[in-house]
A and B are shown apart, each in its own frame.
Chain A
Amino acid sequence: MAVLLNASPRVRNTFYGVVFALPWLIGICAFWIYPTLASAYYSFTEFNAVQTPRWVGLRNYVELFTDDPEFIQAIWNTLYFASVSIVLAILFAFGLAMLLNARVHFQTVYRTVYFLPTLVPEVALALVWVYLFTPITGLVNLPFDWLGLRGPCWLTCPQWSIPTLILLALWIIGQQIILYLAGLQDVPQELYDASEVDGANFWHKLWNVTIPMMTPVIFFHLVTSVIGAMQFFAIPYVMTGGTGFPAGTTMFYSIYLYKNAFHYFSMGYASAMAWLLFLITLAITLVIFRSARLWVYYAGGEAK
Chain B
Amino acid sequence: MRPRKLVWQVVREGLMHVALVPAGLVFLLPFFWMLSTSLKPDIQLYAYPPIWIPSPPNWLNYPNATTYITFWVYLRNTVTIAAGATIGALISCSLVAYSLARIPWPGRNALFIFTVATLMLPFQVTMIPLFIVFKNLGWVGDFRPLIVPHFFGGALYIFLLRQFFMTIPMELSEAARIDGSSEIRIYASIILPLAKPALATVAIFEVIARWRDYLGPLIYLKDQSTYTLSLGLYEYSSQYGREWGLLMAASVMMTLPIVLLFFFLQKVFVQGIALTGIKG
B240 within 8 A of A: no
Please indicate the chain B residues that have their CB under 8 angstroms from the CB of A274 in the complex.
122, 124-125, 127-128
Judge whether A110 and B124 touch: CB under 8 Å.
Answer: no
How many interface contacts (CB-CB < 8 Å) are there between A and B? 265
Whether A123 lies near B125 (C-beta < 8 A) is no
- Does A281 contact B230, Cβ atoms closer than 8 Å? no
Query: Contacting A104 at CB < 8 Å: which of B16, B91, B96, B149?
Result: B16
Q: How far is the CB of A130 from chain B (nearest CB, A)?
A: 8
In the complex, which residues of chain A have a beta carbon less than 8 angstroms from the beta carbon of B229? 121
Q: Are B31 and A17 in contact (CB under 8 A)?
A: no
- A281 neighbours in B (Cβ, 8 Å): 120, 122
> B58 contacts which chain A residues (CB < 8 A)?
none
Contact of A292 with B by CB under 8 A: no
Q: Which A104-141 residues have a C-beta within 8 angstroms of B?
A: 104-105, 108, 110-117, 119-125, 127-129, 131-132, 136-139
Q: State in angstroms the CA–CA spacing of A16 and B48 once bound together.
A: 67
Q: List A contacts of B79 (CB < 8 A).
A: none
- Chain B residues with CB under 8 Å of A254's CB are 124
Query: In the bound complex, how far is the Cα of B248 from the Cα of A129, in angstroms?
Result: 11
Known contacts A96-B23, A121-B211, A123-B234; is A129 also within 8 Å of B153 by CB? no
CA distance A226 to B89 in the complex (A): 26
> What residue in chain B is nearest A281 (Cβ atoms)?
B122
Task: Decide yes or no whether A245 CB sits under 8 A from chain B.
Answer: no
CB distance from A297 to the nearest CB of B (A): 14
Assuming the contacts A182-B277, A261-B127, A304-B280, asked whether A28 and B118 have C-beta atoms less than 8 A apart, the reply is yes
Residues of B within 8 A of A115 (CB): 262, 269
- Give the chain A neighbours of B219 by CB distance below 8 A: 262
Shortest B144–chain A CB gap in Å is: 13
> Which of A39, A138, A285 has the most chain B CB within a 10 Å cutoff?
A39
Minimum Cβ distance to chain B for residue A288 (Å): 12
* B100 interface neighbour in A21, A125, A261, Cβ under 8 Å: A21
B72-102, CB < 8 A from A:
91-93, 95-96, 98-100
Query: Is B7 an interface residue when CB atoms closer than 8 A count as contact?
Result: no
Stretch touching chain A among B62-70, B129-137, B192-200: B129-137
Given the known interface contacts A110-B20, A131-B244, the answer about A35 and B49 at a Cβ–Cβ threshold of 8 Å is: no
Contact flag A119-B103 (CB < 8 Å), given A127-B251, A132-B30, A254-B124 = no
Whether A17 lies near B13 (C-beta < 8 A) is no
Interface code A182-193, partner B: CB below 8 Å = 1, 0 otherwise?
Answer: 110010000000
Instruction: Verify if B34 is at the interface (C-beta below 8 Å from A).
Output: yes
Measured between beta carbons, the chain B residues less than 8 angstroms from A102 are: 16
Closest to A105 in B: B13
Chain A residue with minimal CB distance to B219?
A: A262
Given A24-B92, A42-B129, A238:B30 Cβ within 8 A: no
Shortest CB-to-CB span from B142 to chain A, Å, is 17
Query: Taking A122-B212, A171-B27, A238-B214 as contacts, is the C-beta distance between A104 and B118 under 8 angstroms?
Result: no
Question: Would you call B103 and A24 a contact (CB within 8 A)?
Answer: no
Q: A21-B99, A123-B233, A124-B34 are in contact. Are A116 and B152 (CB under 8 A)?
A: no
Give the size range of A's interface with the partner: 35 or more
Instruction: Answer whether A128 and B248 are a contact pair too, CB < 8 Å, given A100-B20, A122-B212.
Output: yes
Count residues on chain B whose CB falls below 8 Å from chain A CBs.
91
- Given the known inter-chain contacts A16-B99, A114-B27, please indicate yes or no for A131 contacting B33, CB distance below 8 A: yes
Interface of B is mostly: helix
CA distance A137 to B244 in the complex (A): 14
For B242, what are the chain A residues with a Cβ–Cβ distance below 8 Å? 127, 131
A8-49 residues at the B interface, CB under 8 angstroms: 10, 13-14, 16-28, 30-32, 34-36, 38-39, 42, 49
Stretch in contact with the other chain, from A65-73, A157-165, A227-235: A227-235
Query: A220 at interface (Cβ–Cβ under 8 A)?
Result: yes
B274 proximal to A (CB < 8 A): yes
User: In the bound complex, do residue B262 and residue A35 qualify as a contact, i.e. CB atoms below 8 Å apart?
Assistant: no
- In the complex the two chains form, what is the Cα distance from A131 to B152 in whole Å? 40
Q: Is the CB of B20 within 8 A of A117?
A: no
A119 touching B258, Cβ below 8 Å: yes
Q: Does B123 lie at the interface of the complex (its beta carbon under 8 Å from any beta carbon of A)?
A: yes
Contact of A278 with B by CB under 8 A:
yes
A30-B152, A119-B262, A186-B278 are known; give 18 further A-B pairs, CB within 8 A: A10-B106, A14-B107, A18-B105, A21-B95, A21-B108, A24-B96, A108-B266, A116-B28, A121-B230, A121-B258, A123-B230, A124-B251, A137-B48, A175-B273, A179-B278, A257-B124, A258-B215, A274-B125
A selection of 25 A-B contacts at a CB cut-off of 8 Å is A14-B105, A17-B99, A17-B108, A20-B99, A20-B187, A22-B95, A23-B91, A23-B152, A28-B118, A35-B125, A35-B126, A35-B128, A114-B23, A116-B31, A116-B259, A120-B255, A123-B212, A128-B33, A128-B251, A131-B248, A138-B50, A220-B278, A261-B127, A281-B122, A285-B120
7 A-B pairs with the lowest CB-CB distances in the bound complex, closest first: A27-B152, A17-B105, A24-B153, A20-B99, A38-B129, A124-B251, A35-B126
